[in-house]
Structure 1
């Protein structure tokens, strides 16, 4: 078993859709009870899986196979995942959570979920254009909350079976994972994934990856 620290950096605004929408916001972003956005582990794992499949296809399964990937991600017949991912949170999240909790309880009128969320996000408006007339479609004005570019999220990924092939899958999938969330055709969703403790991996592995 081996655990790796991973950082996600938003290189452009990021729209991580939230199941609940408010009266003012049509599409919100995932956030905790105090307004700090985070990147859900389940969503990231799905993106990482797709990224790994793309790499296997590019190299015609010479480095690792789809079966290797399915086994790692729990998509094989036994349904047992050899890879575990925690939610990605802001740096120093636990300390900030405690601070925001204190301020929210003591000065509730000033430190609200909305005011904290505004520190990391912005609101973007968009409309639908009628292709025939070139004018805005009535009633099509829509707004969405987006996470600002430059926000960093941190988490850990654990390989329960720390084999060489699993290390290769993880490293290569992280290296090429460049987009997440929705509205990518509108300039959103560009990210970079950095393996913080990649120095702990064998040098030979990175030579083969490169």
Structure 2
């Protein structure tokens, strides 16, 4: 097994939506764990990367190249109804805030919870809600009537957003080591690298100004693959 790291820097406020809201507070809540840390599900991230790679392959003008790289994408991300032989070679973990930060704060929250269990009158100095509020804010918007440029009735909506500049990381796992002398393995890594560079928008509202991100891919020795020009140039070249 080999591991790569996908690092995501938020360049704008972003909503990792979970599909529901909180009554009386927000219409659209962000996905977050029990400690209040927002995160992006690995399954969602895989879908976003797969979509970017499919878009890149689709614009290739040479039919032979396009078929070759589509086959690479199918090996990398799998295809619907995959069997053991055709399932995805890559597995993506949830994109989370840096682990050292989460572990330190989680330890403090666990300590506060333990004190509360021992003394029902104890008032915690830190709670998961405090963590969530410190990393997010609430944005409100309304529809505008085209006839008079006034706010449309009953159109006010609120959504929680993760504040810009926060870093997230996802672990990308391959079942077997990718070999440098294997064209198939290097093609998968090249496609993953350009798909990472192409991923610029994530989350809910990504087509309306939110979710602008910068993504980079690193190997297990912390070498940035997305800066390696050899992988970029490899795309579009078929042996």
Q: Give TM-score, length-normalised by structure 1.
A: 0.88
Q: By how many angstroms is 1:209 displaced?
A: 5.2
Stretches of structure 2 that go unaligned for 5 or more consecutive residues are 116-121, 179-184
**2:21 equivalent in structure 1:** 21
Q: Deviations over 1:85-144 (max 9, x none)?
A: 111111123333223322344365432222110111010010111122221111111111
TM alignment of 1:120-159, pairs within 5 A? 120-159=135-174
Change (3 A) 1:108 1:10: farther
- Which protein is bigger by CA-based radius of gyration? 2
CA RMSD, 1 decimal: 2.4
Alignment partners' CA distance in 1, 2:135 and 2:229: 37
- SS of structure 2 residue aligned to 1:129: coil
- Kindly report structure 1 stretches of 4+ aligned residues shifted beyond 4 Å: 200-203
CA contact (8 A) 1:15 1:145 kept: yes
Alignment partners' CA distance in 1, 2:144 and 2:113: 42
Whether 2:94 is the aligned partner of 1:68: answer no
CA contact (8 A) 1:159 1:166 kept: no
Q: By how many angstroms is 1:146 displaced?
A: 0.2
**1:88 equivalent in structure 2:** 95
**2:182 equivalent in structure 1:** none
Q: 1:188 aligns with which of 203, 210, 213?
A: 210
Change (3 A) 1:75 1:185: closer
**2:119 equivalent in structure 1:** none
Stretches of structure 1 that go unaligned for 5 or more consecutive residues are none
Aligned residues: 210
CA contact (8 A) 2:15 2:205 kept: yes
TM alignment of 1:30-109, pairs within 5 A? 30-60=31-61, 62=65, 64-75=68-79, 77-78=82-83, 79-91=86-98, 92=100, 93-106=102-115, 109=124
Q: Give TM-score, length-normalised by structure 2.
A: 0.78
